[in-house]
Amino acid sequence: MDEVLIKAAYPGCIQRTPIAHTGKEYATVEDANTESLSFPVASQTIAETGDLLTEVVRRGAQQLLIQAVNDEAATWIADHSQLTDEQGRRQVVRNGRAEPRTVITGAGRLEVAMPRVHDRRLEGERERFTSKILPPYLRKAKSIDELIPWLYLKGVSTGDFTEALQALLGRDCPGLSATTVTRLVSTWQDEHDEWSKRDLSGKHYVYIWADGIHFNIRLEEDRQCILVLMGATADGVKELIAVQDGYRESEQSWSSMLLDLKHRGLTVEPELVTADGALGFWAAARKLLPGVKEQRCWVHKTANVLDKLPKRLQSQAKDMLHQIWMASTRKEAEEAFDLFLATYEAKYAAAAECLRKDRDVLLTFYDFPAEHWIHLRTTNPIESTFATVRLRHKKTKGNGSRRACLAMVFKLCQSAEKRWRRLNGHALIQDLIAGITFTDGEKTKAA
């Protein structure tokens, strides 16, 4: 740090002291109003770095950090000031500084010479001063530990890590490299294994959304299908329930997931499950959740129907489909449903049949509170999360292994979970649990 800045902040006496074992110089401030502080003298001038603002921020952060750890040590010594020997000398005193170390923070690399505290009492009575601000062996701020997985999950490939970190934290950032990601992915895999074994006893998910996403794995021929379940609790809070590697979206894969959830204590069936038309999931759900009501996802259904129509008709057909699921009552939705079939079944029987075959389960949401419809008609709560997953996968050209891909999806879903919003009208969930029925979104009577 330049002496000009030190003098501006501390008008007291300044001495330059070489540190023998490092060959670096430290400017020591001795002032009546503060503890003795030691600042490393900057090895680069502002002219060399070419960024005045960043350098000022870094130096200011370094100054504050050094002041904070010195204040912490002074407070600890003051708290032990009553400890004296027979001659009245204090037993807990300052004892110079430790070897300077570099800490990587959001402001860049900061060098700090930690204050030492000496406890003169006998062995067994001594206490060791440990800084809570800068614990021993800490080399990176927690925000930096969180930065690396954030960059990786948002699509920065391992090959671009060095460049990205230098732009954010400055040059020479030891310990922040592509190899760090390899260790992180291994940690995430262990976290997912542990999370997948957690106890679910007492959990009650009133609504559940189910979906699957497919990935290309670079080192394998077959595509990977990851199955995801999320649910809404009795308080209307959305939670991630399960993330599991499956074989396509087969009945066996979904059955394995549902059986595992039951084995771990999830025994209360939901009121409604929303999913796309994947036959594997519904075949498994009808066997293992026999009493649950079914809701087909309108986004998936719309895409499937439009795919069977000429492009020139898709805009009009899409508007007509919206008229069905946006209707305020089931009767109006039925009328709009019939109109669509009458319009297209003569010339485009496949599109009409695609819609007709799921008629009942497309309109199930009318038997639930109107405030919940926006959440229940589609699997968007999961799809919006998958959008981030697909973006990251596309940018990095996929994962090398199935397990690494599963760990990545798990961490992205966990990250997205923090931003999932509570259900509208969540207080109405208690009415559903109490057995009150709803018609066209309005309460009718107790069951």
Task: Please spell the DSSP secondary structure of 338-385, one letter per residue.
Answer: HHHHHHHTTT-HHHHHHHHTTHHHHSGGGGS-GGGHHHHSS-HHHHHH
User: What pLDDT shows up at residue 58?
Assistant: 66
**176 phi and psi angles, rounded to 5 deg:** -115, 90
For the CA atoms of 395, 143, 51, 173, what is the dihedral angle to 10 degrees?
-80
Q: Give a three-class secondary structure readout of 28-62.
A: EEECCCCCCEEEECCCCCHHHHCCHHHHHHHHHHH
More confident residue, 154 or 119: 119
Looking up tokens 């199955």, which residue turns up? 227
* 375: its two tokens: 């959440």
Query: Residue 17's pLDDT band (boundaries 50, 70, 90)?
Result: very low
**Mean pLDDT estimate for the chain:** 79
What is the rounded average pLDDT of the residues 425-447?
88
> Residue 197 pLDDT more than 90?
yes
CA dist., res. 20 & res. 23, Å (int):
5
Looking up tokens 């379940």, which residue turns up? 229
CA dist., res. 220 & res. 227, Å (int):
19
What is the rounded average pLDDT of the residues 268-292?
91
DSSP string, 258-295: HHHHHHTT--SPPSEEEE-S-HHHHHHHHHHSTT-EEE
More confident residue, 186 or 290: 290
User: What is the DSSP secondary structure assignment for residue 412, as one 8-state letter?
Assistant: H
In the chain, what's the furthest Cα-to-Cα distance? 107
More confident residue, 319 or 171: 319
More confident residue, 192 or 1: 192
* 416: its two tokens: 């997205």
> Residue 236 pLDDT more than 80?
yes
Do 210 and 237 meet the contact criterion of CB atoms below 8 Å apart?
Answer: no
In the chain, % helix, strand, coil (3-state, to 5) comes to 45, 20, 35
More confident residue, 119 or 314: 314
CA dist., res. 174 & res. 77, Å (int):
33
> Residue 19 pLDDT more than 60?
no
**55-73 pLDDT, tens per residue?**
676 677 777 777 888 888 8
Which residue, 177, 55, 69, is CA-closest to 107? 55
Query: Residue 29's pLDDT band (boundaries 50, 70, 90)?
Result: very low
For the CA atoms of 136, 137, 143, 149, what is the dihedral angle to 10 degrees?
-150
Query: Residue 142's pLDDT band (boundaries 50, 70, 90)?
Result: low
CA dist., res. 74 & res. 324, Å (int):
71
Lowest mean pLDDT among 274-288, 321-335, 364-378: 274-288
> Residue 187 pLDDT more than 50?
yes
User: What pLDDT shows up at residue 48?
Assistant: 46
User: What pLDDT shows up at residue 118?
Assistant: 86
What order do you get walking across the sheet with 37-40 strand by strand?
Answer: 13-19, 24-30, 37-40
Q: Which residues contact 22 (CB under 8 A, 6 or more apart)?
A: 99, 100
User: What pLDDT shows up at residue 135?
Assistant: 74
User: What pLDDT shows up at residue 219?
Assistant: 55
* 152: its two tokens: 């990786």
**97-121 pLDDT, tens per residue?**
887 877 766 566 777 788 888 888 8
Neighbours of 125 (CB within 10 A): 10
Do 226 and 246 meet the contact criterion of CB atoms below 8 Å apart?
Answer: yes
What percent of the chain lies above the pLDDT cut of 90? 39
CA distances from 161 to 58, 154, 168, 184, 406 (A): 22, 12, 11, 14, 22
Do 101 and 58 meet the contact criterion of CB atoms below 8 Å apart?
Answer: no
- Three-state secondary-structure class, residue 120: coil
234, burial (CB in 10 Å: exposed 0-12, middle 13-18, buried 19+) = middle
User: What is the DSSP secondary structure assignment for residue 400, as one 8-state letter?
Assistant: S
User: What pLDDT shows up at residue 44?
Assistant: 47
What is the rounded average pLDDT of the residues 258-285?
92
User: What pLDDT shows up at residue 177?
Assistant: 56
CA distances from 401 to 189, 192, 220, 224, 404 (A): 12, 15, 7, 10, 5
Query: Residue 152's pLDDT band (boundaries 50, 70, 90)?
Result: low
User: What pLDDT shows up at residue 176?
Assistant: 53
DSSP lists the bridge partners of residue 19 as 24
> Residue 34 pLDDT more than 60?
no
User: What pLDDT shows up at residue 8?
Assistant: 41
**381-435 pLDDT, tens per residue?**
787 777 766 666 665 555 667 787 788 788 878 877 888 889 999 999 999 999 8
* 78: its two tokens: 């003051």
Amino acid at 206: V
